[in-house]
């Protein structure tokens, strides 16, 4: 039985993270489709979806075979690495140390690259187009699958996989939303605030990671499940401090190295 009142953290994290990943995959599919043809682009994209579905069907049921504390620990460790990587990059983007993620720029880069690859025989499947969309959908989709498993694998009642359904609902809603918008406007979704979403997702995934490791190690969290919200707030505070410090460090002029006195 799903406790929906406690499902929102998993559902929100999965929705936001999946939205970002689906937007990125859509940009590539649109670029390939507009340059090399929609039939070829869709063949690769559908192939990617089938591959991911097979992975989930094969490995998903195995989650129930792993003892809960082991699962919490393994998922927590992976989520710490994954979430902290997202958060670090989001902080560096917010501080202006690295460039912001720009779907329009990625779309233009992809279309010019695909245009430079020359013509293809329209009767056959264009392998360049199919492989490009297959790779994009598989890679971005793999991140979605990991996020759904990681945020939903362990429910608060200690049952493995008890939050997978709410997390899957969050990811599915994000997927349907992006597909609908893609069909409607036929352009990259550059107005989705991806950089802000990535910052928020990095905060949430890092909080989930630390929480699951702590649960796996049987740490007595103060406030129990409420500590997940406290961890998210604490990570947000640290991330904002990180943005400020990184911005200052990037702007600080380096001391000039004094020349060695001539002997």
Partner 1 sequence: MKAAITALQEVYGLFVEDGSYAAAIVIWLAIVCFVFPHLPGGGAWRGPLFFAGMAVILVESVVRAARAKSRC
Stretch that binds partner 1, among 38-46, 52-60, 151-159, 248-256 (CB under 8 A): 248-256
| Rounded-to-integer distance, Cα 144 and Cα 17, Å | 7
Among 95, 144, 153, 160, binds partner 1 (CB under 8 A): 95
Q: Please state the closest distance from residue 181 (CB atom) to partner 1, in A.
A: 25
Q: Identify which of residues 58 and 263 has a Cβ nearer to partner 1 in the complex.
A: 58
Q: Is 186 in the site for partner 1 (CB under 8 A)?
A: no
Give strand pairing partners of 114. Answer: none
Q: Which two tokens stand for residue 125?
A: 């499947």
3-state secondary structure 177-199: HHHHHHHHHCCCCCCCCHHHHHH
The answer for residues whose C-beta is within 8 angstroms of residue 2's C-beta and 6 or more apart is 162, 163, 165, 166
| Rounded-to-integer distance, Cα 198 and Cα 86, Å | 7
Q: Please state the closest distance from residue 235 (CB atom) to partner 1, in A.
A: 8
Q: Is 254 in the site for partner 1 (CB under 8 A)?
A: yes
Stretch that binds partner 1, among 2-10, 22-30, 52-60, 241-249 (CB under 8 A): 241-249
Taking CB under 8 A as the rule, which mask of x and - marks residues 100-139 in contact with partner 1?
---------------------------------------x
Stretch that binds partner 1, among 10-18, 120-128, 185-193, 232-240 (CB under 8 A): 232-240
Q: Please state the closest distance from residue 39 (CB atom) to partner 1, in A.
A: 24
Within residues 47-86, the interface with partner 1 by CB under 8 A covers: 73, 77-78, 80-82, 84-85
| Rounded-to-integer distance, Cα 191 and Cα 178, Å | 12
CB atoms within 10 A of CB 59: 11
Among 91, 137, 144, 205, binds partner 1 (CB under 8 A): 91
Q: Please state the closest distance from residue 257 (CB atom) to partner 1, in A.
A: 11
Compute the CA torsion angle 117, 122, 126, 130 (nearest 10 deg): 120
Q: Is 233 in the site for partner 1 (CB under 8 A)?
A: no
Binding site for partner 1 (CB under 8 A): 73, 77-78, 80-82, 84-85, 87-89, 91-92, 95, 97-98, 139, 142-143, 146, 206, 210, 213-214, 217-222, 227, 231, 234-235, 238-239, 241-243, 245-254
């Amino acid at each position: 039985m799903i406790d929906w009142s406690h499902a929102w953290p998993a559902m929100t994290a999965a929705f936001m993270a999946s939205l970002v990943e689906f937007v990125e995959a859509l940009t590539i599919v649109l670029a390939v489709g507009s340059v090399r043809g929609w039939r070829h682009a869709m063949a690769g994209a559908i192939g990617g979806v089938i591959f991911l579905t097979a992975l989930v069907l094969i490995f998903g049921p195995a989650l129930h075979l792993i003892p809960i504390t082991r699962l919490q620990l393994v998922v927590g460790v992976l989520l710490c690495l994954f979430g902290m990587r997202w958060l670090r990059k989001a902080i560096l983007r917010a501080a202006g140390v690295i460039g912001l993620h720009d779907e329009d720029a990625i779309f233009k880069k992809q279309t010019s690259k695909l245009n430079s690859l020359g013509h293809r025989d329209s009767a056959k499947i264009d392998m360049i187009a199919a492989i490009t969309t297959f790779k994009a959908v598989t890679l971005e989709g793999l991140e979605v699958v990991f996020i759904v498993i990681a945020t939903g694998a362990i429910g608060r009642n200690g049952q493995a996989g008890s939050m997978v359904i709410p997390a899957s609902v969050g990811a599915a809603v994000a997927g349907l939303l992006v597909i609908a918008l893609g069909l409607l406007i036929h352009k990259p979704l550059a107005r989705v605030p991806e950089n802000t979403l990535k910052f928020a997702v990095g905060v949430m995934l890092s909080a989930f990671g630390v929480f699951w490791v702590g649960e796996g190690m049987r740490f007595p969290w103060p406030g129990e499940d409420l500590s997940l919200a406290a961890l998210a707030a604490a990570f947000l505070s640290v991330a904002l401090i990180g943005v400020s410090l990184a911005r200052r460090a990037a702007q600080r002029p380096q001391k000039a190295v004094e020349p060695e006195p001539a002997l």
